[in-house]
Amino acid sequence: MEIASPLLAREALTFIRRMPDAQRTDKALFRRIAKALSPPIPYATMGADDDRNGYLGSGPYTRWFKEELGGPRAGTLLPPFLQAGLLSGLEGSASDGNSSRSARAMLKRIIPTAWVRAARAQMGPGRPSRRLLTLRAALGIRMVRLLEEDARAMDEGVSLKHPSRF
């Protein structure tokens, strides 16, 4: 399935390419138009999920990570050193994440976005944090478990001789 975006239409792109840089940079023209047409609602300056480590370190996530990484399926999918390392990183680590979130928010107000982009471009792709790696591992384990359950249900309840029952 292909999804079309009206902002990628040839006419829209041609119009945008003709605009001066000052109107395109940081969505200057869009902001002016939106401000003129909308009620006075302040714009968000950061993404709501900007600090992944804040919510990934919360109690509910930590409990879920421990369930997935400590389950029997994890031992068959992950190398033992990785499973043990991810689990040990979860010990006593549940937090509310407020202190790191407020510090990050303060730094984002001080450091210009252009500087952050330039630094990221110079550093290249970053390594995922331990929390992000833990999330990816837990999601992978969960997905394999769900697919196995689906396959068992299909095997028990649906005959391949009757494809209309899918």
Q: Is residue 78 part of a domain?
A: yes
Task: Write down the pLDDT at residue 93.
Answer: 57
Average pLDDT over every residue of 77-98: 79
Q: Is the pLDDT of residue 165 over 50?
A: no
Longest dimension (CA), the chain: 66
Task: Write down the pLDDT at residue 78.
Answer: 93
Q: Is residue 159 part of a domain?
A: no
Q: Is the pLDDT of residue 86 over 50?
A: yes
Q: What are phi and psi of 32, to 5 degrees?
A: -65, -45
Mean pLDDT for the chain overall: 79
Domain residues for the domain of 26 are: 9-43
Q: Count structural domains, the chain.
A: 2
CA 126, 28, 36, 8 dihedral sign is negative
Q: Which helix (H) or strand (E) holds 154?
A: helix 130-157
